[in-house]
Every structure is written in structure tokens, then in C-alpha cells.
Structure 1
């Protein structure tokens, strides 16, 4: 038994090392000079620590504006998706209405459609609405998620219905049950969905690239790509920008990882 645990721990340590090595290499490269980043064989630890690379990131491009735009888009998508998906999940988990299961299956079928397939129709819709190069185009198409509805529905179905009955006796409406009973008990699932949504929005590249034309509307993913040249790339600045862009997501995961694990583990076992 001890040998099996030891073997499992060794495998986990090796896997963790493989996963963290690219991140450590990114930190190392962000502190190198351009010449040192291009030398062969490469050096693991920089000979001179160039912290000024992080300052140059903000000087060479409007990185602060990219950061602000990304925060606005991420917060807008995440809050709207938590609200809309939780309401839809509540309806599918608790309410009775015609063709409920059919509608739920149709919503889940959206997960089978690659985003690239609906890219052109979405672009045409945004053009007709006059939303190109606006926050509306960056936020509104991402405020609903079939995965979010499924995740929260599964969690809601695990909450005892006796709580609903007690709330009805106390005079609660459907809105009261949703707001005062289910949402407070679904904190782990809401946080898990919020993390997934924020991460997807923060890393989104293709949709903001197509929807924005001006530098004022660019987000971090596009801003980092601007450091990559056609013939030569300033890798220290590229890695410094990438490191700065990952810090908010890492901090968020560190503080919310317990809720994330609880939300996932408690949401997929209900029928």
C-alpha cells in the first residue's frame, strides 16, 4: 500500500514539474536581456536581472488600457453569465413547464457546436446592430453559457426541495426561493462557474481580434500578440507582458480553489 502511494506521489510530482516548468521559464525569460534570451545554449537563471522589462511593457504599448478593457469585459461577462445561467438553471431544476426536457437538451446541444462555426453569423449580427468596436460586442455574446446552465442545474437539483416548501409556507414567491434559498446554498457552484467564465473571457483572443478595430478597444490577449514581430520577437518583453497578464487569474485561483473543487465535485453527480 505504501509503495502504491509512493509511486502515485512520484507521478504527481513529475506531472507538477512538467506543468510548472513553462511558467518558470516565462518568469526567467522576462528578466533577461534580449541578447541573453537568444543565446544558445540558453541560460536558466538570468545573469543580470532586468526588471525594467516590466516598465517597458507599459511604455511600448498601451498595456494599462488593455488591462482595463480586459477587466471590464471579464467582469461584465462573468456577472451577467452568473445571473442569467443561474435563473435558467433554477427554472430547469425547480419549475414545471411544457417541453422542459426538450428545451434543456437543445441548450446542451450548443456545446456540440464549435465556436468557429457561428463566428461569421455572430459577426453579421454585430455589424447590423452597429456594435463593432464597442464593449457591447465584446460582452453581450458571452453572457450566456450552456455549460453554466448545466453546471448550476445539477447543483440546484441536489439542494433538498424541502427548503422550497418551507419557503413557500413562509410566503416566498419563485423569485424569493431563487434569491433567498437556492443562491445562498449554491455558492461553490457559482464560484466555480465564475472562475471558468473569467478565465475564458480573460484568455479570449479570436473574438476580440475580429470585433475591435481601434487600439482603445484592444484587450490583453491582443496586446501581448503585438510584441510578436514577423521576423524577430522581443521575447523578454513578450514574456513580461504574459506574466503580468497571468497574475490576476493566478491570484483568483489561489483564493477560490477550495470553492472551485467543491463546486465541480458536487455538481456532476445529480440526476
Structure 2
């Protein structure tokens, strides 16, 4: 039976003349051979040796470091944990913990890798959807818009927004983020927005003052809500606050919840922006 084992997945193996995996020589592998097999630099291996992460346990007849199959297997496990985002300190603690079952640890690594592969596959599928939508010139349907912005959202508003901001990076980010939302996600975004605007109206009604801790927290929640659709800086949020006041449609929608809400929301956004080093009078869309 033919054996086909990718070197990248089994760096502790040599490949024989017929392509079959064979164990390292009894004398072990030099640091240069290991670096070549595993795909990392000799300098990295020296560093890992100096910090006690991976030691070459043997020496060649010439006195050089010699890595055994067990040493290289440890390197492979370090690389897997690095791929998963663990620090070298954490990796060393995991690998050197005498209470940890190595087989169980490897199974856990496999589970984590499979979870990451699944996330990356979903991200790739999402990017494919965005590319397909852009190629087809597709936009959100009226129903999808309502699921995000509420029943009061009108399709002509989307057309106007696209004409005003369609060439911006934020609009591209908005379309990409929204394109991958499921129906349930769109419903959740809308419900989160409804909850927040209800709390904003209640805060305005009960006299929460702009600049207070409660008002600043609400302003940050508003920025986080917008951030679900595109990255929103404090300066950009100030620009949105101006729009809420200056555009009669936005002002009417907000003030229908609580008289004066549009102005008050702009005020708490401005006050919170000052707290984060942004002068509202000079705020720009950036």
C-alpha cells in the first residue's frame, strides 16, 4: 500500500527514495535539518532552546545539537499551539505539565484545529457570497433592510445612502458584513437596536445628563451597535450624531420615541467623544 504523508504535517519523518516515510537517523537530526523539515529558522530553534521550550536532547558525533524524533514531535506541537494563538510561555506550561495526558492533549489540539478550520471555512464562504453579490450587483432586499433597520426603513433611503456613501470604505465594509448575516442575525441586530433606542429614550426622559457616566456608557453602546455593521470611530459617530439632528427624517424618527431625543443623542455622543480626545467641532468622517 502506498503511503503519502505530507512533510508539513509530520516534520519528524524523513521521506525515503520511494516516497515512504522513514524515521530519522539514529544519530538524530542537526538543527539545520530540523529547520528545513519543519519550515522555521535556525534562529528560532536557537531561541526556543535558550528559553527552555525545545531542547535538543542529543549530540552528534561531531558535537552538534541532534534532535530526536521526540524532540521534533515537540516542535510540531509548539507550532500547532502557535497557530492557535498561544504564547510561548503558555505552550511551555502546557507541554511540561506532568499531570497532562499527552494523548489527550493531542486530541484537544486536533479539536481546536478543527474548530479553527470550520471558522475559516465559514469566513471563506462569506467572502465568496460577498464576491458573488458584488459580481451580480446585488443589494439588500427591502425585507433584509427591514430586518436590520426596522419596519420604518424605506428602500429609497438605502438608495440615497448608497449614492452618498457608496464609494467609501465604510460602505464596502457595511455591505460585506451585512451580506454574511443570516436572517436570525439580522433580526438580532434590529432587536438590539430597538432595545438600545428604548433605553436612550428612557434616559432622556429621566434626565440623564450628557457627559455623565450613564450617558457615556449609552454613547459607547450606540457606537458598538453601529460597529456591528462597519468600524465606527468616535469622530465618525459625531458625524452620525449631526446627521440625526440635521436630517428631518432621522430627527422625526428619533423624536417620535421621545421629544428632543435626536438632539440629546447628538449631545451625549459629542460629550463622550471629548472624553476620548475628539473635538466634536472638528470631527470628520475618519
TM-score range normalised by the length of the shorter chain:
under 0.3
Name which one, 1 or 2, has greater alpha-carbon Rg: 2
Please, what TM-score do these two structures have when normalized by structure 1?
0.22
Structure possessing the higher relative contact order (Cα contacts under 8 Å, 6 or more residues apart): 1
Considering fraction of residues, name the structure with more helix.
Answer: 1
